[in-house]
Amino acid sequence: MSAYNDKAVVLGSHKFAEADRVVILLTEQHGKVRAVARGVRKTRSSIGARLEPMSHVDISLRSGKDLDTVSEVKLINVHHNLRGDYERLTQGLSMVEAVNKLTPDREPVAHLYEVLYRALHALDQRRSPLMLGAFYWRLLAIEGHSPQLEVCVACGEKSDVVTFDVAQGGIHCISCRSGVPLSFGALDIMKMILGGKMNQALMLEESPAVHEVSLLAMEAMEAHLERRIRSLGVFDRHL
């Protein structure tokens, strides 16, 4: 078995054998990796405590046939603030869950790793009503599903934008309108998030437009996850 080191965000874990856990890691260099942490359920294991979902770690692994094995873990960031705040905890868990569902095993996704650990770090540092919504839009963009925000997806019209259609993946003009009404404020915020002005978007306070963008993000992510699950031919919704 060969040994390797990597940095990773813990996406989740489940019980394995009598005293072990399998942890799912999004690593910087090796993509999504499943690894056994041996004996962590038997004793008060310090390794186990460092492998909570959302933790950012420096990890040593030994590669195995099906599962790798965790040999050492150093915490980079445990995100204390967000763990103590129910709302942020829920948002952080939703982030790692979405990434887990969308990422295939063993395909290097360094960019996604970086986006995820930065988002968790930002969530730990401050509250923002757009934290999860903005993350979902970024994630969809990384997945190649950036919404069309410049012209009507149906006819190419640039003006009179009135709706956003999640199924069509973009804005609609007044003649083609379908989906849900979209305010100018919400459209501006989406352009901020997807146009490299993420920090500016995260500074915004709660408002109807901010709420609109968050709701649309949830809807778009749900639709994308369903498409993905269908395309994999997996029908177990409890994945």
Closest C-alpha among 99, 94, 84, 123 to residue 31: 99
Q: How many residues at the interface with Zn ion, by CB under 5 A? A: 6
Give the span between the Cα atoms of 64 and 29, in whole angstroms.
17
Give the span between the Cα atoms of 176 and 174, in whole angstroms.
6
DSSP string, 152-170: -TTT---S-EEEEETTTTE
Q: Which residue, 122 or 154, is less far from Zn ion as judged by CB?
A: 154
Q: How far is the CB of 167 from Zn ion (least distance, A)?
A: 15
If one asks whether residue 157 binds Zn ion (CB under 5 A), the answer comes out as: yes
Q: How far is the CB of 155 from Zn ion (least distance, A)?
A: 3
Footprint (CB under 5 A) of Zn ion, residues 162-201: 173, 176
Strand order in the sheet with 170-173: 170-173, 161-165, 180-181
Closest C-alpha among 231, 95, 224 to residue 166: 224
**What's the Cα-to-Cα distance from 121 to each of 28, 115, 216, rounded to whole Å?**
16, 10, 24
Q: Which residue, 152 or 192, is less far from Zn ion as judged by CB?
A: 152
Binding segment for Zn ion (CB under 5 A), chosen from 26-34, 103-111, 122-130, 145-153, is: 145-153
Q: How far is the CB of 186 from Zn ion (least distance, A)?
A: 18
**Candidate residues 154, 204, 218, 223; the one interacting with Zn ion per rule CB under 5 A:** 154
Binding segment for Zn ion (CB under 5 A), chosen from 133-141, 149-157, 159-167, 213-221, is: 149-157
Residues engaged in binding Zn ion (CB under 5 A): 152, 154-155, 157, 173, 176
